[in-house]
Amino acid sequence: MLQDKIYLTADGYKQYCEEIEKIEVELLKNTDYKVQAISEAPGDGWHDNFAYEDACRNESMLQKRLEQLLKQKGKIELIESSIYDRNLVNIGDVVKLEFMYDDGDTEIEEVRLTGNWKVSLDELVQEVSLNSPLGRAIYLQKIGSSVSYSVNGREIRIRILSR
């Protein structure tokens, strides 16, 4: 898989579009707030109106985030979990992984691979996005195989124990 692509399921794409809409709504609310800040302090210069300054900073952050999401939208590739092979890790699967670190330490965790834009923090099983280094490493890998991925220049080896 190419690193510059963003892989999402249909639900993940819907979440992505909802995030864009949410930012657009926030921008509109922020514009109303700016107008209100100006009207409440008409004699102040812009440098004396802290509410206006705050609204301008917020607008800049929202516009940057919106611009980033719109730019990334062209990199989205929709995927389906229609490839079904019981021996391969696929979207929606809960898999048991053994993490093997350089110092000989090991850790066993269960994760659910998801094609959503945002992972849920409320689930009993930790969700891992297909677009994360771990998600990319285990997607469509055989149960029982060992793979590795890198985070901040540190290589982490994992063995896929079961689904």
3 Cβ contact partners less than 8 Å away, ≥ 6 residues apart: 136
**Average pLDDT over all residues of the chain:** 86
At 33, list the tokens: 């707030």
Min mean pLDDT across 5-9, 15-19, 20-24, 65-69 is at 5-9
pLDDT tens column, 73-82:
989 988 876 6
Which residue, chain included where needed, has tokens 């802290």? Answer: 50
All CATH 3.10.50 domain ranges in the chain, comma separated: 94-162
In whole angstroms, what is the distance from residue 91 CA to residue 113 CA?
5
Tokens of 116: 């959503």
Chain segment 94-110, per-residue pLDDT in tens: 999 999 887 778 899 99
> Would you state the pLDDT for residue 43?
63
Give dist(CA 132, CA 134) in Å, integer: 5
Instruction: Give the SS3 label for residue 99.
Output: strand
Spell out the CATH class of 94-162. Answer: alpha beta
The domain over range 6-78 is classified in CATH as 1.10.287: yes
